[in-house]
Structure formats: structure tokens, C-alpha cells
Amino acid sequence: MAVSGSLVEKNMSLSSRSDSFSSDGRDLETVPETGCLSIIVLGASGDLAKKKTFPALWNLYRQGFLQSNEVHIFGYARTRISDDELRDRIRGYLVDSHGASTDDLPQFLQLIKYVNGGYDSEEGFRLLDKAISEHEFSKNSQEGTSRRLFYLALPPSVYPSVCKMIRNFCMNKSDLGGWTRIVVEKPFGKDLDTSEELSNQLGDLFDEKQLYRIDHYLGKELVQNLLVLRFANRFFLPLWNRDNIDNIQIVFREDFGTEGRGGYFDEYGIIRDIIQNHLLQVLCLVAMEKPVSLRPEHIRDEKVKVLQSVLPISYEEAVIGQYEGYKDDPTVSDKSNTPTFATVVLRIHNERWEGVPFILKAGKALNSRKAEIRVQFKDVPGDIFRFCSGVKQGRNEFVIRLQPSEAMYMKLTVKKPGLEMATIQSEMDLSYRQRYQGVTIPEAYERLILDTIRGDQQHFVRRDELKVAWEIFTPLLHKIDNGDLKPIPYKPGSRGPAEADKLLEKAGYVQTHGYIWIPPTL
């Protein structure tokens, strides 16, 4: 291992997150979780596993969060491959992670074993259990201290059968300690009913504290920063409300299309793929009230409350689009009504946000790739500078750039340097690459997998949160599924349908013409 430190130190580091508590209320600072750790990636042959799950495990290993004398990793899937073939498939996705040394890579790869089997096969899961148990015995794990983490990198259609198999054949063997945890990927259902059905099926098999519904946006650095920003800074406390803020946009843009995932995407569409989960989770953190403490349940209680205050979506405040050429993908139906773009206005009926539109916008095959939160403030009352530059100056905006190039900047009006009393748009800028030179920002999945090992559910979606999220979007989704709302065609590489910009304007957003934020260079 390149990272030094005793086992005891690393065990402590696994449990040393300040102010954090496990879902069952144990203070993680004082309860080091030790014992053999088995991480089982189901769907190991798939896209997510190779691109995100294994690289995240590798980065945790490299940094010493996973110790070779206590961890073992298992891949499980139907594809018939050997241990070495799985290692060869993922190797290429590990080498460049964080540009770090790969001296440890062979040792890491040797920790990975592959078990082949079906997702409803008793034989397959018995084999898997045997492999895990052998590893636990080989590590002389004291009975009851073994930890089993099952990561379902699989289509949700197989979650119920896989969970049943785990429950019946692969649970942690003792109630003396240790645990079994299940990580499930989105989409959790397709609408309120299917999501509730899935929740019931999983809920019959596992306690809520064993279930980790992952939404990788909750693992992004600047999403995690939202609570700190809002509640640790006096600047923001008095301004963050309807008296000062005119509108808030939460935007996701990708400059590529469905890229080989057309079959999956066509069943779900952009609202289920991005807006109902990733953007809505961000909205919760932007709009919720201050939690009683940082305990996961306190935070998630506030998220549920704000979601419950969202009014039914007005169909006049939704624009959907589909990029031209989307249906050329052979896995997409010629008659597809699936949106690849959507702008939806949400309105929150509470004291803080009454009248402030939250504009959620997401699109594939657009002219840029970025995700950001844009808080636009109201005009300055009694503006005495209105004649200074011949043009009305833009509104103040606070922008949190989630990606790429993490940054926060405040757009504001200043005196234009020079002899004249003229005004100009400028910014106060905190660009992470410049401010935190040499600091590597962890990948979302890395952070979230570490949280599951630590038993910290703060950044995972609770069942009641999920239910309200589906309640908000299900009527609109059914309208689209029934063909009552048709996507407007847009050109790949464009801003999306012009109607979306008109909706933005109608909702109150005022664009500052002629101003473009340029990320600072070193």
C-alpha cells in the first residue's frame, strides 16, 4: 500500500466523520466499525460498474480507506467470465483515476473475484455466499463482525428478485454485530405507483436503515457545500427568501445525446433520468429550512417538508423537447414521445418561497455541458445609477457551478474603473481550481460508497422523500406518456426549444445581456 497508517488508524478514519451519526443513531466518532468487509457489485459486467463503481473502490483503496487485510470485492453477473477477464475489463477505467500512481493496482485487482449466476438463481447466490464466507474465514473474522455491502449496479427490474436472494442466502451470518447493507441505483420506479410497489417489495426484505438509495448528485462537492454555504454564513441568512430573490434556476445540460443508452433512456426520459431525482434533490438543499442538527434524519425531515410544500405543476409551466435524430437510434421507437429536454417551473407554497419560481431545466444534446444553480435577486429599488451607463444594469446573481470547473460567483454591479462615473457588471469569484490548488475533489461515487461503509445515510434518499418526489412529477409524466403533451423538436447542439427560453422569461428571469463569466486561469 502506498498509503501508510496502521489498521487501527484507518479503522478510526472510517468512523471519524465529525458530527455524523449512523442511521441507527450511533455516534460514528466513537464506534469504530471493524471486521472483514465484503463489497459485492451485482451487475459487475455493466456500464456503471466499470465506469463508476470499481473506479470509486479503487480510489478508496488507494487512499487507504479500504485495507487489503480486511476488504474483499466480489463481482456478480450472468456473463460468463473469469476473475481475470473481469479485471481486464475494468483495468482501463482505473489507471487514470485522479492521475495518481498505479503501483498498487495489481494488489487491488487481486482483491476482486467474480461469481457467475442469474439474478433469481438460488444456486448462484449460494455460490456467492460461499465465496464471501470463505473470504471471511480466511481473514479470521470474528463471528458477527463481518460487513457485507451489496451494490446493485443493475436495472431496477431485477431489484426485487436480487434482494430476495440476498435476504435468503447472503446475509451477514450473525446478529452479534456487523451488518448487511444494500445500495440501489436510480431510477427507483417509473411513477408513484411503481415506486411504491418497489419500496414495498424492498421494505418487506430490509429495514430502511439497511437501504441506501443512491443519487450521485448528493455526492458532488458543491452540492454537499450547500448546507454549509446557507447555514454557516451570515451573508446569506437574511437574503435567502422571497423578499430578495426573484427566481432560482437549477440547470443540467449535456452536449451529447443518449450515446448507446437509448434503449434505457427511451423508457424513462429526461424528467425521470435527471429532474425528478438529481435536480429535485438539489432543490431540496437550496430551499429547505435549517435542520435541527446535521443528523441524517434531521436533514432528511427538512427535505421532505419542503417537497411536501411544492404545488402541483401547471402544464403551462412545462416545456418538453426532443432533439432531432434521437429516433435514429435503433433501440428507440420511431414513434417515441420521450423528452430529451424539459424545463419545468416548481412553486413552493411556504412563507419563505411563496411567489418565487424554481425553474428546473435539463437537456441532452445541447450546446454545452454544465450543471449549475442560478439564484437571481430582485431589482434594486430606487436605482440611482440607472442613467450612468445608458443601460439598466443586470440583476445580482449568485451562481453555484456544480460542474465542470466547480465555482461560486456573485454577479454584481461595480463602478467601471476610470474617470467617469459609469457602472459595469463584474463578479466576485471563488473558483475551486484556483483557490484550492493541488486539492483533488473526490468523485461523487467515492464519497457515497464511503458513507455506506460508515453507515451514514445523510446523502441518501429516504423512502418518504422518494414518495413525495414521485407525487410531484407523476401527473406530468402520465400526461407525456399518454401523448397529451408532445415534445418540441430542437437541433442537437442548440439551447433547446425556444419556447423554454420564453417560459423562463415569463417566470421572471431577466438575462444580463453582454455579460459572460469567464473562469479564471492560473
Contact flags string 312-351 toward ligand LXAUTJHC, x per CB under 6 A: ----------------------------------------
What are the b/e assignments for 309-347, b being 16+ CB within 10 Å? bbeebeeebbbbbbbeebbebeebeeebbbbbbbbbbbb
Helices (H) and strands (E) in the chain, counts: 16, 15
User: Which of 82, 97, 3 shows the shortest CA–CA distance to 50?
Assistant: 97
Of 132 and 184, which has the nearer Cβ to ligand NDP?
Answer: 184
Tell the residue number behind the cell numbers 457515497, with chain if given: 448
CB 373 within 8 A of CB 248: yes
Q: Which of 72, 135, 216, 278 is catalytic?
A: 278
Asked if residue 492 binds ligand NDP (CB under 6 A), the reply is no
Footprint of ligand NDP on 390-449 (CB under 6 A): none
CB under 8 Å to 382, separation ≥6 — which residues?
Answer: none
Q: DSSP assignment of 76-144, as one string? A: EESS---HHHHHHHHHHHHTTGGG---TTHHHHHHTEEEEE--TT-HHHHHHHHHHHHHHHHHTTPPTT
Footprint of ligand NDP on 111-150 (CB under 6 A): 119
Residue 273 interacting partner from ligand LXAUTJHC, ligand NDP, none (CB closer than 5 to 8 Å by kind): ligand LXAUTJHC
- Rounded-to-integer distance, Cα 344 and Cα 315, Å: 9
Shortest spacing between CB 129 and ligand LXAUTJHC, in angstroms: 31
Shortest spacing between CB 346 and ligand NDP, in angstroms: 23
Asked if residue 185 binds ligand LXAUTJHC (CB under 6 A), the reply is no
The grid cell for 48 is 456503471
Of 161 and 350, which has the nearer Cβ to ligand NDP?
Answer: 161
Q: Give how many residues touch ligand LXAUTJHC by CB under 6 A.
A: 4
Shortest spacing between CB 199 and ligand NDP, in angstroms: 15
- Rounded-to-integer distance, Cα 405 and Cα 379, Å: 29
Shortest spacing between CB 181 and ligand LXAUTJHC, in angstroms: 21
Footprint of ligand LXAUTJHC on 354-383 (CB under 6 A): 371
Contact flags string 55-94 toward ligand NDP, x per CB under 6 A: ----------------------xxx---------------
Active site residue 278: yes
Footprint of ligand NDP on 363-392 (CB under 6 A): none
Q: Give how many residues touch ligand NDP by CB under 6 A.
A: 19
> In angstroms, how far is the first alpha carbon of the chain from the final one?
33
CA angle 481, 484, 489 (to 5 degrees): 85
CB 12 within 8 A of CB 56: no
User: Which of 250, 270, 256, 257 shows the shortest CA–CA distance to 342?
Assistant: 270
- Nearest residue to the partner ligand LXAUTJHC, using Cβ: 273
Residue 79 interacting partner from ligand NDP, ligand LXAUTJHC, none (CB closer than 5 to 8 Å by kind): ligand NDP
CB under 8 Å to 485, separation ≥6 — which residues?
Answer: 315, 318, 320, 476, 479
- Nearest residue to the partner ligand NDP, using Cβ: 46
CB 503 within 8 A of CB 343: yes
Residue 75 interacting partner from ligand NDP, ligand LXAUTJHC, none (CB closer than 5 to 8 Å by kind): none
Residue 45 interacting partner from ligand NDP, ligand LXAUTJHC, none (CB closer than 5 to 8 Å by kind): ligand NDP
Of 253 and 395, which has the nearer Cβ to ligand LXAUTJHC?
Answer: 253
Asked if residue 273 binds ligand LXAUTJHC (CB under 6 A), the reply is yes
Residue 397 interacting partner from ligand NDP, ligand LXAUTJHC, none (CB closer than 5 to 8 Å by kind): none
DSSP-derived pairing of the beta strands 341-347 and 357-363? antiparallel
- Rounded-to-integer distance, Cα 205 and Cα 264, Å: 27
- Rounded-to-integer distance, Cα 272 and Cα 212, Å: 19
Shortest spacing between CB 444 and ligand LXAUTJHC, in angstroms: 6
Catalytic residues: 278
Q: Which residues contribute to the site for ligand LXAUTJHC (CB under 6 A)? A: 216, 254, 273, 371
Q: Which residues contribute to the site for ligand NDP (CB under 6 A)? A: 43, 45-49, 77-79, 119, 153-158, 185-187
